A and B are shown apart, each in its own frame.
Chain A
Amino acid sequence: MNQENILAVENLVMHFGGIKALNDVTFDIKRGSVSALIGPNGAGKTTVFNCLTGFYKATGGKILLSAGGKETSIIKVLGEPFQVTDFFSPFAFFARLKYKMFGGSHLVNRAGLSRTFQNIRLFKEMSVVENLLVAQHMRVNRSLIAGILNTKSYRKAEEEALERVFYWLGVVDLVDSANRLAGELSYGQQRRLEIARAMCTNPEIVCLDEPAAGLNPSETEALTKMIRVLRDEHNTTVLLIEHDMGMVMDISDYIVVLDHGEVIAKGGPDDIKSNPKVIAAYLGAEEGEEVTL
C-alpha cells in the first residue's frame, strides 16, 4: 500500500444472509484529504462505514489502515476464523488466536480511526466532560490503584485530559455546556459533541456519518468550517457520508459514489457533478438514457 493513502479498501464484500449490501467496493483515501462517500438511499454508504470501523465484520475483501506508523488490517483485528494453512504455520496460528481471543472493534479505534453515527450515540447519562474523558482513556493513567490513591501522576494525567477536553469543547463551541448531561443538549449540540468525542481518541482519520443531517443552514456552515479545521490544523483525514450536496461539493477533495453496493464513480467534485452515471443514479434514469443536470 502506498504511503500517500491512509485507507485502502479493496474488493470489500458484505452480505447479510442472502442480501448483498456491498459488492466489490474498492477505493483509496488520501492522507490529509476531506473525502465524501455519497449515493442514493440504501446504496450501502453506512454499511461501508460499519465495516471500516469494525461495527460489522466484512464478509470478504481487505481494509487496510495505515496510521500511527504501521499498517493495520481491520478485518484481521476483529478476529477471523481459522484457515487450514494456520495449522501448518504456528506463527499465523498464534496471530489468529490472539485476535480471536483479544481482538475486537476497540483495536480499530486504537489503530487510529474513529467515527460518529447518523443517529447520535452519546453516553446520555454522563456529563459532556465525561463523554470526552471516556474517549481519552488510552491516554490517561490506567492504574486503578493510582486512581484510588489519587497519586500525583494520576492527577497530572487527569488534568491534561481535562485540558484537551476544554480545547475540543472550544473548537465545537460547547464550553458553556461542559457540566450538563449529554442527553440534555440540543440536537445540533449533540452532533458537535459527538465529533469532539471522536476527535478526543486522537484519530488520524475520522469518519462522520451524515454530520449535517438535521442541522439548519447556519449550523451546516459552522460544521463545514469545523471540518476544515480538523483537516488543516490537526492533520486529520476526514471521510464523510452526506446528503447535503452543496456542502459535499464545497469541502470535498475527493468523492466516491456508491449505488446498490457498488462504486459507480470516483473523483474530484467537478468530475462527479458531470458524471452521467451519478446523475442517472440520483435521478433514476433508464439504462443508456442521457440525463443532464
Chain B
Amino acid sequence: MDIVLQQLVNGLTLGSVYGLIAIGYTMVYGIIGMINFAHGDVYMVSAYITAIALALLTFFGIESFPIILVGTLFLTVAVTGAYGWVIERIAYRPLRSSSRLSVLISAIGMSLILQNYVQLSQGANQQGVPTLLTGALRFHVGDGFVQITYMKLLILFISILGMGVLTYVIQKTKLGRMCRATQQDRKMASILGIDTDKVISTVFVIGAVMAALAGVLVTLDYGAFDFYVGFIIGIKAFTAAVLGGIGSLPGAMLGGLILGLSEALFAGLISSDYKDVFSFSLLVLILIVRPSGLLGKPEVEKV
C-alpha cells in the first residue's frame, strides 16, 4: 500500500516534468507541423544554465533559498527562451517554405550541434549542483510511510502553475488567440495582419521556457546532469505528447501525467529495469486503439 502511494507521488512529479517538456513538442507541432528534435537538448542546455545561474548567485553571496530559486528560475527561463528563439531563427525559419523533411533533418542537426557544443564548452563529465532544499513531509500509512520531499512539492507546484498560466494565455489572451488562429490557418492569419513569423517565434520561446522550468526543477532535485541528459527525457516527453494527441495542449499535460504515473507504478511494483519498455509499449497500445492520441482530433480526409 505505502509503495503504491509513494510511487503515485513520484509518478505525479515525474509526469508533470514530462508534461512541461511535452508542451514544447506539441505546440511546435501544432503550429508548423514539425517535430522539434532539438527540444530535449534545449532542456539539457537549461540544466547547464541552472548550474551557471546557481554559481553566479552564490558568487554574489546570496544564500537565502527563495531568492536563489527565483533568481535561478528567472535567469534560466530568460536564457533558455533566448536559445529557443535563436534555434527557430537560424535552423527552421530559413526552411519555412521547403518540405517538412528538410526541417526535420535540420532539427536533428540542431540537436547534435547543441549536444556537441555543450560537451566542448562544458566538458563531457557529469556535472552536479548541491542540494539546496532538504527535508520532507512524511505520512504514516499502515506499517510504512509515504515521503514527499519539499523539492517534489515544489516541482508539482511550479509545474501546475506554469501549465495553468500557459492554458490561460492560450485560451483567454490575445496572444493565445493569435497562436490558435495561426495554428488553424497560417496563411489566413497572415492575411488578417497577424505577423505569423513572430507568432511562431513566440511559440518556440514558450516551449523553451516550459522546458527551462522543468530543467531548473529536475536539476535542483537530482543534482546531476551531463550533456546527454536531454535525449532520454526528450524522447519520453515526445512520447507523452504523442500519447495525449500531438498538437493538443491539454493532451500533452495529460499524456505526461499518464506516462509518469504508469512508469513509476510499473517501476515500483514490477520491475524498474523494464520501465522504459513498459512506457513505450503503453504508447504502442494507445496508438493502436486511438491513432490520434487521447485528446487529438482524428484527421478527416476531405472529399
What 1/0 flags go to B170-189 for Cβ under 8 Å of A? 00111101101100110111
For chain A, the count of residues having a C-beta within 8 Å of the partner chain is 32
Contact B193 A106 (CB under 8 A): yes
Contact B188 A106 (CB under 8 A): no
User: Which A residues touch B177, using CB under 8 A?
Assistant: 126, 130, 133-134, 137
Contact of B191 (CB < 8 Å), options: A109, A123, A142: A109
A106–B190 alpha-carbon span in the complex (Å):
5
Contact B175 A147 (CB under 8 A): yes
Q: What is the chain A residue whose CB lies nearest that of B176?
A: A147
User: Which A residues touch B173, using CB under 8 A?
Assistant: 144, 147-148
Task: Answer whether residue A251 sits at the interface, using C-beta atoms and an 8 A cutoff.
Answer: no
Most buried by A among B180, B193, B195, B197: B193
Contact B185 A115 (CB under 8 A): no
Task: Answer whether residue B192 sits at the interface, using C-beta atoms and an 8 A cutoff.
Answer: yes
A105–B189 alpha-carbon span in the complex (Å):
9
Contact A106 B195 (CB under 8 A): yes
Task: Answer whether residue B165 sits at the interface, using C-beta atoms and an 8 A cutoff.
Answer: yes
A293–B173 alpha-carbon span in the complex (Å):
57
B11–chain A nearest beta-carbon distance, Å: 30
Most buried by B among A104, A105, A109, A133: A105
B157–chain A nearest beta-carbon distance, Å: 18
A275–B180 alpha-carbon span in the complex (Å):
48
Task: Answer whether residue B196 sits at the interface, using C-beta atoms and an 8 A cutoff.
Answer: yes
A58–B47 alpha-carbon span in the complex (Å):
48
Contact of A147 (CB < 8 Å), options: B169, B187, B192: B169
User: Which A residues touch B191, using CB under 8 A?
Assistant: 53-55, 105-106, 108-109, 114-115
A123–B189 alpha-carbon span in the complex (Å):
9
Contact A141 B169 (CB under 8 A): no
Task: Answer whether residue A232 sits at the interface, using C-beta atoms and an 8 A cutoff.
Answer: no
Contact B184 A147 (CB under 8 A): no
Task: Answer whether residue B168 sits at the interface, using C-beta atoms and an 8 A cutoff.
Answer: yes
Contact A197 B192 (CB under 8 A): yes
Given contacts A104-B196, A148-B169, are A126 and B180 in contact (CB under 8 A)?
yes
For chain B, the count of residues having a C-beta within 8 Å of the partner chain is 24
B178–chain A nearest beta-carbon distance, Å: 6
B184–chain A nearest beta-carbon distance, Å: 5
A46–chain B nearest beta-carbon distance, Å: 14
A58–chain B nearest beta-carbon distance, Å: 16
Task: Answer whether residue A273 sits at the interface, using C-beta atoms and an 8 A cutoff.
Answer: no
B133–chain A nearest beta-carbon distance, Å: 27
User: Which B residues touch A108, using CB under 8 A?
Assistant: 191
A128–chain B nearest beta-carbon distance, Å: 13
Contact B194 A123 (CB under 8 A): no
Task: Answer whether residue A110 sits at the interface, using C-beta atoms and an 8 A cutoff.
Answer: yes
Contact A134 B194 (CB under 8 A): yes
Contact of A201 (CB < 8 Å), options: B178, B180, B181, B192: B192
For the residues of B in contact with A, the DSSP-based class is helix
A193–B172 alpha-carbon span in the complex (Å):
21
B200–chain A nearest beta-carbon distance, Å: 12
Contact A142 B185 (CB under 8 A): no
User: Which A residues touch B168, using CB under 8 A?
Assistant: 148
Contact B180 A137 (CB under 8 A): no
Most buried by B among A109, A124, A134, A201: A134
Given contacts A104-B195, A110-B193, A197-B192, are A140 and B181 in contact (CB under 8 A)?
no
Within 8 A of B (CB), among A36-82: 53-55
Contact B190 A105 (CB under 8 A): yes
Task: Answer whether residue A135 sits at the interface, using C-beta atoms and an 8 A cutoff.
Answer: yes
Contact B194 A137 (CB under 8 A): yes
Task: Answer whether residue A121 sits at the interface, using C-beta atoms and an 8 A cutoff.
Answer: yes
User: Which B residues touch A140, using CB under 8 A?
Assistant: 174
A237–B175 alpha-carbon span in the complex (Å):
30
B57–chain A nearest beta-carbon distance, Å: 24
A25–B193 alpha-carbon span in the complex (Å):
26
Most buried by A among B165, B191, B196: B191
A121–B181 alpha-carbon span in the complex (Å):
11
A144–chain B nearest beta-carbon distance, Å: 5
User: Which B residues touch A110, using CB under 8 A?
Assistant: 193
Contact A109 B185 (CB under 8 A): no
Given contacts A106-B195, A148-B173, are A134 and B190 in contact (CB under 8 A)?
no
Contact A106 B196 (CB under 8 A): yes
Given contacts A104-B195, A123-B180, A125-B180, are A134 and B189 in contact (CB under 8 A)?
yes
Task: Enumerate chain A interface residues (CB-CB to B < 8 A).
Answer: 53-55, 102, 104-106, 108-110, 114-115, 117, 121, 123-126, 130, 133-135, 137-138, 140-142, 144, 147-148, 197, 201
Could you list 20 A-B pairs, sorted by A, with CB under 8 Å?
A: A54-B190, A102-B195, A106-B190, A109-B191, A109-B193, A117-B188, A121-B187, A125-B180, A133-B177, A134-B178, A134-B192, A135-B193, A137-B174, A140-B174, A147-B173, A147-B174, A148-B169, A148-B173, A197-B192, A201-B192
Supplied contacts A106-B192, A134-B177, A147-B175, 14 more A-B pairs, CB within 8 Å: A55-B187, A55-B191, A104-B190, A104-B195, A105-B187, A106-B194, A125-B180, A126-B184, A133-B174, A134-B192, A134-B194, A137-B193, A138-B193, A147-B173
Closest 5 CB pairs of A and B: A147-B173, A109-B193, A134-B181, A121-B188, A105-B190
Task: Enumerate chain B interface residues (CB-CB to A < 8 A).
Answer: 165, 168-169, 172-175, 177-178, 180-181, 184-185, 187-197
